[in-house]
Structure 1
Amino acid sequence: MIIESRFNGPPGSGNGGWSAGIFAANHGADGPVEVTLRRPPPLDTPLTVVDGDVLDPDGRLVAQVRPAGDPPPAVPPVDPATAAVVSAAYPGLRDHPFPGCYVCGPERTDGLRIFPGRLPDGRTAAPFRAPDPVVPATVWAALDCPGGWAVLAPGRPYVLGRIAAVVDGLPAPGDDCVVTGAAVEVVGRRAVVDTSLYGPTGALLGRARATWVAVSPQPASRP
């Protein structure tokens, strides 16, 4: 099991949602799964899952995979036109802590390019065109950053700490989908957020609840 370098989030680290989706798939649990990241997932490094613990070649704990209990609630859907309008005002286009992120980084022409904008009620929404190929980790990745952008603010970056997700279905390559996100609770440095992915017919394809942790700002990595 390897997180390839192109699936990065912060520089030198795997994107949290993609990494969690890979870890969950390799664990093979039935039903909702919760993944807790214990340190940044290393890139291009062989990893193993032992009794739900994801370990690096030196035996260090990278993540833990556990049953999640009840499925996360769904964030209400948004029509594609509204999602496109708010996405045009995506704050990450002007100020992004990790502009090379595979999911939401504006510098990644080869990424998912999910750019969540803020709705008047505080939720986020973004259009999402499914890539080719699509795997369950693609849905986990799409369910990652849109929730974070419900709490991210200039000078206040967050990173994913824990995510519990359910994949109800996979979009077909090229499908035009919509992702929605919402903040549930913010206490100190920790924020709980929900996200949902809807397919082109409006069907719910995935939902997640995640805990994000605020970190110190750092200079953005530019090519």
Structure 2
Amino acid sequence: MPEIRQLTVDGRFNGPDGSANGGYVCGSFARLCPAPVAVTLHAPPRLDRPLRAEVGGRRAHLWDGDQLIATAAPTEHRVGHVDPVSWEEAVRASGLYRGQVNHPYPRCFACGPDREPGDGLLLAPGPVPGRAATVACPWVPDEAAGTGEDGRVAAEFVWSVLDCPSGWTADLVAAPRVLGWMRAELETSPAPGDRCVVVGRLDTGDDHGFASTSVLYDSRGTALARATTRWYAP
């Protein structure tokens, strides 16, 4: 019999208005599972509402009443590699962030420009000159990202940081997309105040959606975490 757990996403951690940030809910759900998983989102997760997680079997399920919100399952997929960029390159790329104007979800917890410091992550992934289909931005964890018992950034916030930069490898202003599938591999988490760089690369895409890889690096260019994501029309 599966174990029943409860997951409630606080209203602050939204993506599109009225629903949870995809990376945050995927990471929160994955933390409830006994083994590493990939998470598929089937419907927008509502905020400030208790969701029922059934975990313990080969597949885990997240429900909102009778509606299936997400499925988590073990996967043999290995996340690929994206070369790092320097802090200075990431700062320059961030100045080219397409989402600064006409963002489809301007109050997104991770990448929305309408959030305040300490409230949102304020990621601004912009194109890296000379690197095809690659975006990057700097990130210094502050009080917007919660920490675990070890004092480092909690896993669900790392999933959030890997989520949105992978989405901005495509033009979300011209063709808005939402996260549909995510697999993350975490080596370690940064501590508050650590200088980090997030890099994302578009891998494949068509009119129906696209797949990307993102990597979180520390200031020495060491990969802390990485993810593969798949994005689809809302």
State the TM-score, normalized to the length of structure 1.
0.91
Quick one: which of 36, 40, 48 aligns to 2:40? 36
Q: Secondary structure at the match of 1:20?
A: helix
Write the deviation string for residues 88-114 of structure 1: whole angstroms up to 9, x where unpaired. Answer: 111111120000000000001110111
Amino-acid identity (%): 38
Matches of 1:50 and 1:108 in 2, distance apart? 33
Q: Match for 1:7: what amino acid? A: F
Q: Secondary structure at the match of 2:103?
A: coil
- 2:71 equivalent to 1:64: yes
State the TM-score, normalized to the length of structure 2.
0.87
- 2:146 equivalent to 1:127: no
Q: Match for 1:113: what amino acid? A: L
Q: Secondary structure at the match of 1:209?
A: strand
| Equivalences, count | 212
Is the contact between residue 152 and residue 158 of structure 1 (CA under 8 Å) also seen in structure 2?
no
In structure 1, the residue matched to 2:4 is none
Write the deviation string for residues 32-51 of structure 1: whole angstroms up to 9, x where unpaired. Answer: x2000010011011112214
What's the CA shift for 1:189?
1.4
Q: Cα RMSD between the aligned structures?
A: 1.2
Matches of 1:177 and 1:188 in 2, distance apart? 33
In structure 2, the residue matched to 1:138 is 157
In structure 2, the residue matched to 1:101 is 108
In structure 2, the residue matched to 1:26 is 32
Matches of 1:78 and 1:28 in 2, distance apart? 34
Please list every run of 5 or more consecutive structure 2 residues that lacks an aligned counterpart in the other structure: 1-6, 148-152
Please list every run of 5 or more consecutive structure 1 residues that lacks an aligned counterpart in the other structure: 216-223
Is the contact between residue 160 and residue 212 of structure 1 (CA under 8 Å) also seen in structure 2?
yes
Q: Secondary structure at the match of 1:7?
A: coil
Q: Match for 1:12: what amino acid? A: G
Q: 1:42-121 to 2 correspondence within 5 Å?
A: 42-51=46-55, 52-56=60-64, 58-109=65-116, 110-119=119-128, 120-121=130-131
Matches of 2:49 and 2:41 in 1, distance apart? 16
Q: Secondary structure at the match of 2:12?
A: helix
Matches of 1:63 and 1:172 in 2, distance apart? 29
What's the CA shift for 1:201?
2.5
- 2:218 equivalent to 1:199: yes
Q: Match for 2:67: what amino acid? A: R
**CA separation of 1:131 and 1:67: change in aligned 2, threshold 3 A:** farther
Is the contact between residue 104 and residue 172 of structure 2 (CA under 8 Å) also seen in structure 1?
no
